[in-house]
Amino acid sequence: MIFAVLIPLVFALLVPLLSKVKNKVHTGIFVLLIPLGIFLYFVRFIGNDFSPVRHTYNWIPSLGINFDFYLDGLSLLFVLLISGIGTLVVFYSIYYLHVSERLAHFYVYLLMFMSAMLGVVLSDNVFVLYSFWELTSISSFLLIGYWHHRERSRYGAQKSMLITVFGGLSMLGGLILLSVITGTTSIRGMIDQVDLIINNNYLPLILGLILLGAFTKSAQFPFHIWLPDAMEAPTPVSAYLHSATMVKAGIYLVARFLPIFVAFEWFYITVSLVGIVTLVWGSYMAVRQTDLKGILAFSTISQLGMIMAMLGFGTEAAIFAAVFHILNHATFKGSLFMIAGIIDHETGTRDIRKLGGLFTIMPISGTLAVFGTFSMAGVPFPFLNGFYSKELFFEATTKLSDQANGLASFLSTAIPYLAVFGSIFTFVYSMYLFFGVFTGPKKFDLLKKKPHEAPIGMLISPLILILGVIIIGLFPNIANSSLLVHATGGIMNSPMEPYHVHYWHGFDSIAFQMSLIVVGLGIVLFLTRKKWSNIYHVLPGKLSFNKVYDKLIQKIDDVSARVTNAYMTGSIKLYMSIILVAIIVATFTIMLTTGGLSNISFEDLAEVSVVDIAVVIIMVLAALATIFVNNKLALIIITGIVGFGISILFVIFRAPDLALTQLVVETVSMALFLLAYYHLPELRKREETLQTSTTNTIIAVGMGLLVTLTGFAAHSADWFNKISDYFVETAYKLGGGHNIVNVILVDMRGLDTLFEIAVLGIAALAIYGLIKLRNKEAE
């Protein structure tokens, strides 16, 4: 099974080579073999006696991450959709994309996507699933931005990337929590430990995170905004990714984790509510669109909402209806996208306001569109599959059990009305889509091209899909016992009895009555469409999620720019203040919380002589003077006083080596200051506001206090024996010298000295380089 998943990826490596001959053979013809082969491979699994298949291939066994492919009914349905529609889309794209396009790019991305999508639906390991999940986001990003010279394409690609990756990352969080709780990375293993998960305190968080991933990917309200912008992709991509496969990945995810969450009431509330709101909002907004693909995008959003809502209901009948509708939606929506592509291709526009009266010119496309749109609308003809699944949907909405909880029970009552309301608009936009394009006055002078029927090769793919619509419409039970029942069983995690779909439910069936209401009101609303279309000025009106998104992106940009500009001013003074304040605050906090300050004791101090005090007073005066002196020569000398004071202190505290070194180093550094005297900046009285000088004073005093207190505290703490005793004892015995300092420097800790002289050497060479090798001309 791993070959089925990875072959598209491997073949993608060959595509650039094959596309070298694209002028003789369209690259798509080579690619066509791949999805076809995969489809044929998986078709063999269909059958009444299907049982799940599992294959495991090691990847990172030590982390429990392996290619663990599990083919159950649900996965089988999805892999058939992916490979089947993939084949048709590749075939369609052979006629849609001209050889002058960058075909190699297109097919590489498409194969990457196919591989990723197969991986998503077949993986049993959550982390492998996540990897493939992100690969679908990336390849979708590349496909949306295929015509990257267009600004709208880049915008759409970025938007879909940001939203789906946001969801993907939160899903990863949920998956990590799940695998931590259950101790396994296998979805099957998690389903076996449902009780453990259901009783966990983090359950709402896990549910929220995973649903966020599913909702963003499946364009659920309010994350649906990326899908209409993704319509900038080439039409085969829209037909494949944004109607049949990728947008159903979220559906798949919810279905896959349904056995875990179904017992949790909030699963029902969230998923049903979001689904039904998406259904209503998507169909409502679709009527307003003028772009053919825009209508289809919002239509997809609304149909996905419907499937999501059915999964949320969680009853066996509803889930069967969901599975049935996944299949049906893929057939009619895929074909409608292809027809929209044909219209675009043959007339040069997708704007429905410029189209009209095309039926006489494009009779085949028109006929196909009839079936597609009517099936989407759920018109009660026995040869349209959309009707059956919609009927099952209505039936499921009326059979929601009364939940005890207030919100849930309210939702159960409201859902049937909302479903009918949304379906009315579905009917309206479906009719608008067909009659607006194919009937009415001919407006050919508005078109860029002279319209004509599409080449036959382009019509084959939608024709096959429409045949699917009709066949499922005529024989609604054709795939039930061999495929759909297994898929439902896969979602419910329990085998399901064969299910029989009826066309005729009788007039007293409430679902049929709902359908009649939908059709009746739909016709009325469609005919009077122009009269009530002003309502869109009221309801979405100024309320637009796109604007919210744009504002948000803009705001994030602005705020981060402002924050960065606020502290990255380029002023070293400010950086210094920030560093010092951070040190002061952090260290004081730690000292106070750990009680470091309370241990300070002043016992065990040596006596202070008059000389000490005198030297220290001189040094303190000199140090204070440096703050107020404004003459640079004076400043150098005063600084020198402090340095020489230190060397006197070394003498007093009996460190002759240090005293000598300090004396010489101080002399040398003063000489250096004087050598660089001409280059030093002229000091002047600094004109500071009271505020900055106060801040600086506070920081300086705080730092001084900190160092003083640290010194006291360190002196008071006596936790370890001092190592100096060892040095005193062994300096002569082991090192052969009486000068302990020198023995430590060259023998005991010679390595430090080695690197210190290396530092000196580097400094000297750097100074030499700075002076001798500078660019004289640039000065």
Tokens of 216: 């963003």
C-alpha distances in Å from residue 392, one per residue of 81, 398, 414, 505, 778:
21, 10, 17, 10, 81
First to last CA, the chain: 69
Contact between 258 and 491 under an 8 Å Cβ cutoff? The reply is yes
Report in angstroms how near the CB of residue 673 gets to other proteins at its nearest.
Answer: 10
Nearer of residues 500 and 776 to other proteins, judged by Cβ: 776
Give the binding range for other proteins (CB under 8 A) out of 236-244, 277-285, 328-336, 666-674.
Answer: 666-674
Identity of the residue, 587 or 669, whose beta carbon is nearer to other proteins in the bound complex: 669
Of the candidate residues 406, 628, 772, 775, the single one contacting other proteins (CB under 8 A): 772
Which residues, other chains included, contact 777 with Cβ-Cβ below 8 Å and sequence gap of 6+? none
Q: Determine if 568 is a binding residue for other proteins (CB under 8 A).
A: no
Other C-beta atoms lying within 10 Å of the C-beta of residue 364: 15
Identified binder of other proteins from the candidate list 507, 678, 719, 720, rule CB under 8 A: 678
Q: Is 665 in the site for other proteins (CB under 8 A)?
A: yes
Closest to other proteins by CB, 548 vs 765, is 765
Q: Does 675 bind other proteins (CB under 8 A)?
A: yes
Q: Which of 47, 204, 440, 761 binds other proteins (CB under 8 A)?
A: 761
Given 370, 618, 641, 746, the residue binding other proteins (CB under 8 A): 746
Rounded to whole angstroms, how far apart are CA atoms 465 and 460?
9
Tokens 């430090």 locate to: 752
Q: Which CB sits closer to other proteins, 144 or 743?
A: 743
Distance of CA 571 to the CA centre of its chain: 36
Residue with Cβ nearer other proteins (339 or 636): 636
Determine how many CB atoms are found less than 10 A away from the CB of residue 519.
17
By CB under 8 A, residue 742 contacts other proteins = yes
**768 touches other proteins (CB under 8 A):** yes
Task: Tell me if 602 contacts other proteins by CB under 8 A.
Answer: no
Asked if omega into 204 is within 30° of 0 (cis), the reply is no
Residue 763 lies near other proteins (rule: CB under 8 A):
yes
Which are the contacts of 121, defined by CB distance < 8 A and separation ≥ 6? 74, 75, 78, 79, 82, 249, 252
Helix (H) or strand (E) holding 762: helix 750-772
Q: How far is the CB of 572 from other proteins (least distance, A)?
A: 23
Question: Does 680 participate in binding other proteins (rule CB under 8 A)?
Answer: no
Stretch that binds other proteins, among 275-283, 303-311, 580-588, 753-761 (CB under 8 A): 753-761
739 binds other proteins (CB under 8 A): yes
652 near other proteins, rule: CB under 8 A: no
Cβ neighbour number for residue 347 with a 10 Å cutoff:
23
Whole-number minimum distance, CB 660 to other proteins, in Å? 5
Question: Residue 10 Cβ, how far from other proteins at the closest point, in Å?
Answer: 52
Identified binder of other proteins from the candidate list 16, 52, 208, 735, rule CB under 8 A: 735
Question: Any idea which residue has 């204070």 for tokens?
Answer: 624
Q: Are 343 and 358 in contact (CB under 8 A)?
A: yes
Q: How far is the CB of 672 from other proteins (least distance, A)?
A: 6
CB of 611 to other proteins, least distance (A): 20
Helix pair 316-347, 73-96: axis angle to 10 deg: 10
Q: Could you write out the three-class secondary structure of 591-631?
A: HHHHCCCCCCCCCCCCCCCHHHHHHHHHHHHHHHHHHHCCC
Judged by CB under 8 A, the residue of 671, 701, 717, 728 near other proteins is 671
User: CB of 728: closest distance to other proteins in angstroms?
Assistant: 15
Window contacting other proteins (CB under 8 A); options: 341-349, 378-386, 690-698, 765-773: 765-773
Decide whether 478 or 660 has the Cβ nearer to other proteins: 660
Interface positions, 41-80, toward other proteins (CB under 8 A): none
Cα(686)–Cα(627) distance, integer angstroms: 11
Among 478, 539, 611, 668, binds other proteins (CB under 8 A): 668
Tell me if 45 sits within 8 A of 111, measured CB to CB.
no
- Residue 715: partners with Cβ closer than 8 Å, 6 or more residues away: none
Q: Which is nearer to other proteins, 113 or 650 (CB)?
A: 650
> What is the C-alpha separation between 456 and 252, in angstroms, rounded?
34
Looking at 196, 614, 728, 757, which residue binds other proteins (CB under 8 A)? Answer: 757
Taking the complex as a whole, the smallest distance from the CB of residue 134 to other proteins amounts, in Å, to 49
Q: How far is the CB of 135 from other proteins (least distance, A)?
A: 50
| 109-123: burial string, b at 16+ Cβ within 10 Å, e else | bbbbbbbbbbbbbbb
Q: Which stretch binds other proteins (CB under 8 A): 146-154, 178-186, 466-474, 756-764?
A: 756-764
CB of 683 to other proteins, least distance (A): 19
- Give the span between the Cα atoms of 143 and 369, in whole angstroms: 26
Task: Return the residue of 448, 537, 679, 684 that touches other proteins, per CB under 8 A.
Answer: 679
Stretch near other proteins under the rule CB under 8 A, chosen from 198-206, 367-375, 708-716, 747-755: 747-755
* Smaller CB separation from other proteins, 222 or 750: 750
User: DSSP states of 705-759 as a string?
Assistant: HHHHHHHHHHHH---S--THHHHHHHHHHHH--S-HHHHIIIIITHHHHHHHHHH
Min. distance of Cβ 609 from other proteins in angstroms? 22
Q: Is 656 in the site for other proteins (CB under 8 A)?
A: yes
**Which one of 260-268, 287-295, 297-305, 745-753 is the stretch in contact with other proteins (CB under 8 A)?**
745-753
Q: Kindly state the smallest distance separating residue 768's Cβ from other proteins, in Å.
A: 5
Nearer to other proteins, 173 or 737 (CB): 737
Shortest distance, position 645 Cβ to other proteins, whole Å: 20
Provide, rounded to whole angstroms, the least separation between the CB of residue 720 and other proteins: 25
Closer residue to other proteins in complex, CB, 725/779: 779
**722 contacts other proteins (rule: CB under 8 A):** no
Q: Does 676 bind other proteins (CB under 8 A)?
A: yes
Among the listed residues 404, 606, 751, 778, the single contact to other proteins using CB under 8 A = 751
Minimum CB–partner distance for residue 648 and other proteins (Å): 15
Structure tokens at 339: 């027809």
CB distance 250 to 220 below 8 Å? yes
Kindly list the distances between the CA atom of residue 5 and the CA atoms of 2, 34, 82, 122, 593, in Å, as whole numbers in the listed order.
5, 11, 11, 8, 57
DSSP structure string for 325-389:
HHHHHHHHHHHHHHHHHHHHHHHS--BTTT----TTTSHHHHHHHHHHHHHHHT---TT-HHHHH
Own/partner long-range contacts of 502-509 (Cβ < 8 Å, ≥24 apart): 502/476, 503/382, 503/388, 503/476, 505/391, 505/395, 509/395
Name the β-bridge partners of 54.
Answer: 70
Amino acid at 775: N
**Strand, helix or coil at 220?**
coil
- Contact between 716 and other proteins by CB under 8 A: the answer reads no
Q: Is 684 in the site for other proteins (CB under 8 A)?
A: no
Say if CB 37 and CB 125 are below 8 A apart: no
Q: What are phi and psi of 475, to 5 degrees?
A: -125, 75
Interface with other proteins by CB under 8 A: which range of 187-195, 308-316, 486-494, 672-680?
672-680
Instruction: Considering the complex, state which of residue 349 and residue 667 has its C-beta at the smaller distance from other proteins.
Output: 667
Count of residues near other proteins by CB under 8 A:
41
> Could you list the residues that contact other proteins (CB under 8 A)?
656-657, 660-661, 664-665, 667-668, 671-672, 675-679, 735-739, 741-743, 745-747, 750-751, 753-754, 757-758, 760-761, 763-765, 767-768, 771-772
